[in-house]
Structure 1
């Protein structure tokens, strides 16, 4: 009895039909085979590719490394992404379970007293019934691959969620790096403003004394006070920005961050240089592009399930067991019984519902193709922007450093000439403002260069993926 049921289950599992999933072909990348190589872009480098480097090798500041590591442990968005992966994995296991028959065992027993008024004999009677059954219920034989198509779709969706998690991790590393660099830049701007304000106040004191001696006009005095007030306003602004930068960093890290963390100045080598002259097929390593391709493959698998719905579906219900009016006789010879109940469902008329479902699944695939191609185009543009930013920022920084040096020379000369009375206060104040503005621009340009390098590192897909397990 049970042997025959086991044979039936084994035969049902062995039955399998053809797959109606269209053959998958990766769409051609709608971008050039190489990134731009014009004069606006940095030359090719023989150094290691960013996609082969981990974030520890990319970011040299030990404080930044510590913050990134803590964020990978504590960031809530990353936790949500990891839980989403577990959720899609569970959905895949649920869908995959439909490929196998669900075997269940049931046992029941009942005793009933029938009063004399309802008894056929006119006397009260007590009846008993006991049964034990092992069987499968409504198991679908996957002749045309509908269940396997749905299982493959769930599997590919699960894999896409893993790439989505990697994408969140990569974005988190880049966001922490940018937030840290912005915090450091605003700290340097704050210190620069404090030093400049001190210099402005000294100049104001000198102008006040000169005014009292009749050597400086009221206009000179008013302009000196204007410079002081302007610097005080800038001081308040940078104090606010430093505090807000720290708050943003704390949110990304997901844990408290000390405001007194030591760190390297922006002028030092904080980041490893990412080479240019790279082939565009490196973009295939980006997690967001891999995610888009997995979703495209999942949509392709769903077409197979929609096609299979046009064909008959066959389901089996079968069980074997024993029954008896006495519990002691439940498993005695002659008490066994079995049930075999196949069912076939053939779609005949559904008002075009199945055709519409197939058309919808094909449209969804076309949408996924466009999304996949758009993700490649976006990645290509981000990398090209990053490569262009590198060379132009280097040129801009060199020019800005020369401007700071020239402004310092101008300031020293103007101060000397003002103190000996050769020039008026206007020239000296102009030199002060020019120096302050040039120094501010140098810090801002350096920050822009560093954040552009971080963006390029992210655009190339990072490279810390191999180090994720050790980081987490």
Structure 2
């Protein structure tokens, strides 16, 4: 068989011009994003010591470390993120395979009947097919680059989800402790109200106190009993929430026995410029932006011709034993060029769509960046104010306790009314409640500050066990 080849020299100028046009497309990410004006220091902190890693090790309670390990191993939403990362990694392999030739083996066997001669015949064939798209414009490379950046973005998002899970476990654990401390306080309030009621009812029986004081005390006792019941509900719900985080719901057997530590020491917050390379959510946003940039390049090059080389070698024979005998092997080698001519503006619209998505991604990155800066600033400011509030409320609590004891003594001496006693006890109770809540707010804000700074919480042993 004689094969005829058509000259392709007339196409060379056209292909050369298209190649230059395609290769001229470069990154369209705004250059200003690579050199943004960043603050030199945080507003409410002048120290620039490096951010602490392994900050979880500062908590000495073994239970909280065990809860974190369980959460990383069994939390359902975190497992979903792990599978999403695996999906992204497999997609990376899929996109990378487009850069390589595709080789298929096809085998076919059949038996036919000729009705005119009433005879039967066998047909067998085997073919090895090769197909390869020449990445002359770099289109397939852009697709592979897009998948690479998507994978890096997913990997950073996975790290962000891991840190968020640890933060959720810690804050919920401390909320359970806070709920228990408040429950103890409320129960002590019940006992105090019961003692007051016994004293006042005894005085009423003796004619020393008025009936109004008895009703006021009974009302106060009922209020305290209601508050205890509500707080028990709050604690139970928080324990269930914690069990869900560690993948043990609905056992309802989790017991938490710890105190709220007082965190007043300063933590190193580093420099604002370091946040970009340290915080996983910022890295994920940047990688996603680069992926959109590669997607724009891919959409642009979709408008250029595709060059596909294909080859085939095979054999066909009535006797399956004689396949690939060598004497009857047939082969073919083809090259094809396909170029879009009319598609009602679909390819151009896809390119413009990718360009607008890139611009949208730039704004999302800026919003994520400055939001991250704002989270750190707010956490630093909040910690500073909470420390001041704690010490002022500590003094208020002591004064309120003394005032409550004095008011009851003066009431028994007939110097003040019982409403004065209730008011003093209410102030003492509110001060003690507020002090417990401020301690937990300090802890929660400290955890969120570590999270906002992007410092890694994981100790080497914890990281290995989580795997």
Same fold flag (TM > 0.5) = yes
For 2:35 and 2:400, locate their aligned partners in 1 and report how far apart those are by CA, in whole Å: 49
Alignment root-mean-square deviation, CA: 2.5
Quote the Cα distance in structure 2 between the aligned partners of 1:458 and 1:29.
25
2:64 matches 1:44:
no
Listed one character per residue, the Cα deviations across residues 12-62 of structure 1 (whole Å, up to 9, x for unaligned) are: xxxxx885662365714766424542xxx355374x514xx1253243332
Alpha carbons of structure 1 residues 443 and 106: separation in structure 2 relative to 1, 3 Å? same
Specify whether residues 210 and 29 from structure 1 end up closer, same or farther in structure 2 by C-alpha distance, changes over 3 A only.
farther
Post-superposition Cα deviations, 1:147-186, rounded to whole Å, max 9, x if no partner, equal: 1111111121122111121111111111111111111111
Change (3 A) 1:396 1:29: farther
Maintained 8 Å contact 1:19/1:149: no
- 1:176 aligns with 169
CA distance in 2, matches of 1:328, 1:283: 67
Q: Which residue of 1 aligns with 2:16?
A: none
Residue in 1 that maps onto 2:418: 425
What is the deviation of 1:278? 3.4
Structure 2 counterpart of 1:140, from 130, 133, 142: 133
Corresponding residue for 2:108? 108
1:297-340 CA-partner distances (Å, limit 9, x unpaired)? 11111122112122211112211123334445434453121111
Match of 1:80 in 2: 80
Q: What is the aligned counterpart of 2:39 among 17, 30, 33?
A: 33
Q: Report what 2:390 is aligned to.
A: 397
The aligned residue for residue 64 of structure 2 is: 64
Structure 1 range deviating more: 146-155 or 398-407: 146-155
Check if 1:157 corresponds to 2:150.
Answer: yes
Q: 1:430 to 1:104 in 2, by over 3 A?
A: same
Secondary structure, in 3 states, of the residue corresponding to 2:100? coil
Name 1:22's counterpart in structure 2. Answer: 26
SS at match of 1:178: helix
**Which has the bigger relative contact order, CA under 8 A and spacing at least 6?**
1
Aligned to 1:354: 347
- Partner Cα distance (2:377, 2:45) in 1: 10
Alignment equivalent of 2:193, drawn from 192, 200, 204: 200
- Separation of aligned partners in 1, 2:240 and 2:35: 41
Structure 1, unpaired ranges of 5+? 1-16
Q: Which residue of 1 aligns with 2:96?
A: 96
Structure 2 residue corresponding to 1:298, chosen from 270, 291, 294:
291
Scaled by the length of structure 2, the TM-score of the pair is: 0.87
2:404 aligns with one of 411, 415, 418: 411
What corresponds to 1:340 in structure 2? 333
Alignment-derived partner of residue 375 in structure 2? 382
3-state SS in 2 of match to 1:91:
helix
Q: Given the alignment, which residue of 255, 260, 266 partners 2:255?
A: 260
Does the 8 Å contact 2:56/2:458 carry over to 1? no
Question: Any idea what SS the aligned residue of 1:27 has?
Answer: helix
Residues 31 and 103 of structure 1: CA distance in aligned 2, closer, same or farther (over 3 Å): same
Closer, same or farther: CA 33–125 of 1 in aligned 2, 3 Å:
same
Q: How far apart in 2 are the matches of 1:285 and 1:19?
A: 34
Structure 1 position 277, deviation (Å): 6.1
- 2:237 paired with 1:244: yes
Match of 1:11 in 2: none
* Contact 2:99–2:141 (Cα < 8 Å) also in 1: yes
Q: Secondary structure at the match of 1:311?
A: coil
In structure 1, distance between residues paired with 2:35 and 2:412: 67
User: Partners of 2:231 and 2:98 in 1: how far apart?
Assistant: 61
Counterpart of 1:130? 124
SS at match of 1:143: coil
Change (3 A) 1:293 1:398: same
After TM superposition, the structure 1 stretch with the greater mean CA deviation from structure 2, 181-190 or 272-281, is 272-281
Distance in 2 (CA, whole Å) between partners of 1:203 and 1:383 is 48
